[in-house]
Amino acid sequence: MGVSSTHFSFFSLALVSLGYGKAAVGAFWAVSVVAEIAFFWFQGRFFHWLSPVGWLKLVAGVTTLRFVAVAAGGAVPVVLALAQASHAITFAGHHAACIALVHRHFPDRLRGRGQALYTMLGYGLSGVIGGVGGGWLIEGHGYPAVFWAAAGAGVLAWGCAQRAARHGA
């Protein structure tokens, strides 16, 4: 989630730096919110197509593509709209897969602790690292650098999900 936290922290600022106005920035965020809601609304129809780790592999691949698109194609509105639509996978799919894994690996009485651990690692710690690291990257290299780094984190996440799949997670 650190990758998503980085996106939440810097996406609007990056768009403003590219000359987008407040209405356009809001519209791009609206695309991601609608996509996320649609995923959660319909996930019962398709979430079973992959295992939770399979979803994490898909999420990592789409995340990588999303941030490459933002880094390289941020000046093209249709590219940004498609990147924001992928939020259905990069956030909602990730969250659903992680909650499924918490339910699998934490017994009933420990499930709340498992969800707290997921939240702390997935949003808290990784959000701080992404925010501080992203700020440092932007200061020295500009906004695209933070999205290239997020794409690299997506590749790393795919490797982690692949390893988890090999170990039967």
The residues near 105 (Cβ < 8 Å, ≥ 6 apart) are 114
72: its two tokens? 């390289």
20: its two tokens? 């987008």
Number of H helices, E strands in the chain: 9, 0
CATH topology of domain 2-166: Growth Hormone; Chain: A; (1.20.1250)
Closest CA to 36 of 6, 68, 8: 8
| Average of per-residue pLDDT values in the chain | 90
Question: Locate tokens 């939240």: which residue?
Answer: 119
Tens of pLDDT, residue by residue over 97-139, are 999 999 999 998 998 998 888 888 877 777 787 788 888 899 9
If pLDDT is split at 50, 70 and 90, which confidence band does 3 have? low
Indicate the helix (H) or strand (E) that contains 79.
helix 77-85
pLDDT at residue 1 is higher than 70: no
Tens of pLDDT, residue by residue over 31-81, are 999 999 999 999 999 999 999 999 999 999 999 999 999 999 999 999 999
Question: Locate tokens 């499924």: which residue?
Answer: 100
Considering the entire predicted model, what is its pTM? 0.88
